[in-house]
Structure 1
């Protein structure tokens, strides 16, 4: 039985972070409407201050995120499912809640005031975005577990 923590090994972690960063960039780019403009603006402002803001943030949150997902991975491994993304999608609301709780804890440590303010104002929209993309996140992690 494998454990998601193996994705934290240096050679694997860098590949996971690369894929997750691309996933975040793509997901942000797909946002539309007023909240989409606000999300894009917040990400743009953050990356102007720190070009590697997304990858650094993902690197910090990755261990906790994997910890949130470990019980699901364990259940997935003992199931007949073949795709972790599809497996997670069945419980997308609960998965998103767990991931957003972890994100909230990390957001409390953001030291760039405009980014912290943007997170607070866009948090609920972010939760719905996470919930709608749980399957893709699971598929990325599954790819690196093989």
Structure 2
């Protein structure tokens, strides 16, 4: 069974989306300093768009992210622990995830969104990499991988 199988069951997919939203909330809340204040302010604006905005965005991008992570997940399965494999390869995993957002941004007609994303792209790479172990745990918990 592949990683994408977690998307076949609507209840499991909804649980993954919820867990990812909570992970993002925790990651943002843990940020400190001036950069953390700016990130928290921006995240607050996004969350202010509506209570379902963040989960909705996760739900829309999740199939692409899971599909992009599938080869790394398969490598981890062959090595015996896909969760550990993603976590041990945080930078590579983050690049795969950001590659999905890069492709989506490239298709947008909104120049402001594209410009804002491009300005933040490098600075958020570390944040995305830092979230990889939590994401790997979420994926592992909802997959058929023995825990």
Identify the TM-score tier after normalising by the shorter chain.
0.7 to 0.9
User: Which residue number corresponds to residue 37 of structure 2?
Assistant: 37
**Cα RMSD over matched residues?**
2.1
Contact 1:61 1:106 in 2 (8 A): no
* 8 Å Cα contact 1:96/1:134 also seen in 2: yes
How does 1:1-146 map onto structure 2 within 5 Å? Answer: 2-9=1-8, 10-81=10-81, 84-108=82-106, 109=108, 118-146=116-144
Relative to 1, partners in 2 of residues 1:110 and 1:30: Cα closer, same or farther, differing over 3 Å?
Answer: farther
Provide the aligned length of Structure 1 versus Structure 2.
142
Q: CA deviation at 1:89?
A: 2.1
Alpha-carbon contact 1:31-1:37 (below 8 Å) kept: yes
SS of match in other structure, 1:50: coil
- Once the 2 structures are TM-superposed, how far is the Cα of residue 107 of structure 1 from its aligned partner? 3.6
Contact 1:35 1:125 in 2 (8 A): no
Q: SS at the partner of 1:78? A: helix
Consecutive unaligned residues of structure 2, counting only runs of 5 or more, are none
Give 3-state SS (helix, strand or coil) of 2:79's partner.
Answer: coil
User: How many Å apart are 1:24 and its aligned residue?
Assistant: 0.6
Contact 2:23 2:131 in 1 (8 A): no
Q: Once the 2 structures are TM-superposed, how far is the Cα of residue 41 of structure 1 from its aligned partner?
A: 1.0
Q: Deviations over 1:108-138 (max 9, x none)?
A: 5486x5x665534322221111112211111
